[in-house]
Amino acid sequence: MDQQKSVSKAVVARLPRYYRYLRRLASEDVTRISSKDLAARMGLTASQIRQDLSCFGGFGQQGYGYSVETLMIELERILGIASSRRAILLGAGNLGRALLRNFNFSYCGVRPIGAFDVAPDIVGNAYRGIPVHAMEDLETFMSREIPDIAVLCIPGSHAAETAERLVKAGIKGIWNFTNAELREDEIGVPVENVHFSDSLMALCYKIQDE
Amino acid sequence: MDQQKSVSKAVVARLPRYYRYLRRLASEDVTRISSKDLAARMGLTASQIRQDLSCFGGFGQQGYGYSVETLMIELERILGIASSRRAILLGAGNLGRALLRNFNFSYCGVRPIGAFDVAPDIVGNAYRGIPVHAMEDLETFMSREIPDIAVLCIPGSHAAETAERLVKAGIKGIWNFTNAELREDEIGVPVENVHFSDSLMALCYKIQDE
């Protein structure tokens, strides 16, 4: 744990992407890869890859490349996705249901254990086996099940108050899909804000030259 | 246009975030902001902000800070979101419908003009005024309406062939929500892959120390 404290945010932000490529290599039965080949696949330079991975002690062997499996396991440990996290999802509208039905939570070492909504016609349903509870039962459920992560798919206008409620009830982190940005220093637990618009804007930028 | 060619990818990747904060400042009726105050809000350093924005000629005045409106307009120009782009959405399942119903496309200067699906019970519906057409009508529609961007919300197993079909029909860029990664150098047009798992993993990493 001490080791990773000194790793820059920029490197950490790249790790899930490394992990994604390694998973794909493993699924293609590739067992070893050189930094050069990995770089070509990922659109990076070999030296950047060597530098990034050396932050974690470096798992490559000169002339032999990296063991895909060893590197995957090591990244799982570093990213903390080996220790199964329990998640609840708030807001089982279209986006919430899309995540429950289609998103591969287990890929990230996360297990959804319950969903919550205010709509009477949605409460009581289940999606991929995950039951939807009434929002008023949130605290009772949380004190019993102790979830780690809350996935916020509610309207942005309710994001701040709901986050506060979740933190008070002991949530450890918030995955925020609402259009309201939640700040870690304001709500007091780690947050990842998913901003669809950032990537659409990046795309608009890229097609300008076309 | 020449100017931005020399701007690094890392700076460009940060611009949508600047834009997001500026939009919020404007909505709070803030007209001027110093690099120091903007830095505090965004969790960056003032010198990084000055450096990033100087890549585009720098719009701040010593001692007066930045004009929020001028900077916003300039970022809209640079990001190419001022020139309204036309988008089609493929796959009107839960995720597709969530985007059509809730995502603020116009914020990014993008206008959805049609959706496509293979399910007979979805074709013919409309979401926020956007009609869902049969997938087999894609090419006819595209040759008539000339969309710029395709939003992919179909199963990952169909991503590659559909991307090929879209490129052949003249699409300029793909916003990819499938779990299949599309590579620009393979399909021939700019792509933005949206990886939900990257941000969930980043969250798992952050809550390790809690």
pLDDT in tens, A109-152: 899 999 999 999 999 999 999 999 999 999 999 999 999 999 99
Residue B4 near residue A194 (C-beta atoms within 8 A): no
Torsion of CA A88, B98, B181, B84, to 10 degrees: -140
pLDDT at position B192 over 70? yes
Interchain proximity B98–A103, CB inside 8 Å: no
Sheet holding B110-117, edge to edge: B126-127, B130-134, B110-117, B85-90, B149-152, B173-176, B191-193
> Which chain A residues are Cβ-neighbours of B206 within 8 angstroms?
173, 190, 192
Which of A98, A173, A203 is nearest residue B190 as measured by Cβ atoms? A203
Interchain proximity B210–A189, CB inside 8 Å: yes
pLDDT in tens, A66-122: 889 888 888 888 887 777 899 999 999 999 999 999 898 988 889 999 999 999 999
pLDDT at position A1 over 50? no
* Average predicted confidence (pLDDT) for chain B: 88
pLDDT of residue B49: 87
Which of B103, B198, B207 is nearest residue A173 as measured by Cβ atoms? B207
Surface-to-core class of residue B169, CB atoms within 10 Å of its CB (0-12 exposed, 13-18 middle, 19+ buried)? middle
Q: How confident is the model at residue B62 (pLDDT cuts 50, 70, 90)?
A: low
Q: Does A186 touch chain B (CB under 8 A)?
A: no
Residues of chain A numbered 4-23 and touching chain B (CB < 8 Å): 12-13, 15-17, 19-20
> Which has more confidence, A197 or B6?
A197
ipTM, two decimals: 0.83
Instruction: State whether the Cα torsion A118-A121-A123-A129 is positive or negative.
Output: negative
pLDDT in tens, B134-161: 999 999 999 999 999 999 999 999 999 9
Which of B103, B192, B204 is nearest residue A202 as measured by Cβ atoms? B192
pLDDT in tens, A141-187: 999 999 999 999 999 999 999 999 999 999 999 999 998 889 888 99
Interchain proximity B200–A19, CB inside 8 Å: no
Q: Which two tokens stand for residue B51?
A: 């450096």
pLDDT in tens, B81-94: 877 899 999 999 99
> With left for phi above 0 and alpha for psi between -120 and 50, is residue B41 left, alpha or beta?
alpha
Q: Does B207 touch chain A (CB under 8 A)?
A: yes
Q: How confident is the model at residue A2 (pLDDT cuts 50, 70, 90)?
A: very low
pLDDT at position A63 over 80? no
> Which has more confidence, A131 or B7?
A131
Neighbours of B10 (CB within 10 A): 9
Q: Looking at this protein, which amino acid is placed at residue A125? A: N
Interchain proximity B206–A194, CB inside 8 Å: no
